[in-house]
Amino acid sequence: MNIIELIGIVAGILTTVSFLPQVIKTWRYRSAKDLSLTMFICFCLGVFLWLIYGIYVSSKPIIVANFVTFILAGTILYFKIKYD
């Protein structure tokens, strides 16, 4: 693996797991007032389309990263609807 692939993998991991702290914070404080519903609806839709795209082009990194992101961002969207 060369440095460029490593940068791509680290980038993918960071942009995926970064949603976990938001899930934990929103769940712990049961508060999502400051989160934008429009953002998470658009983002979840976009990530879902990335998932479809990844399946079509058979790219495991795109599938795995966007599946995890969809679960995390979808959880935040659920909390936003539930706690607002």
Which position among 1, 27, 42, 61 is part of the footprint of a second copy (CB under 8 A)? 42
Encoded one letter per residue, x for contact with a second copy by CB under 8 A and - for no contact, window 2-41 reads --x--xx-xxxxxxxxxxxxx-xxx--x-xxxxxx-xxx-
Contact (CB, 8 A) for 48 and 70: yes
| Minimum CB distance to a second copy, residue 73 (Å) | 9
What is the token pair recorded at 42?
């658009």
Residues that bind a second copy (CB under 8 A): 4, 7-8, 10-22, 24-26, 29, 31-36, 38-40, 42-43, 45-47, 49-50, 52-53, 56-57
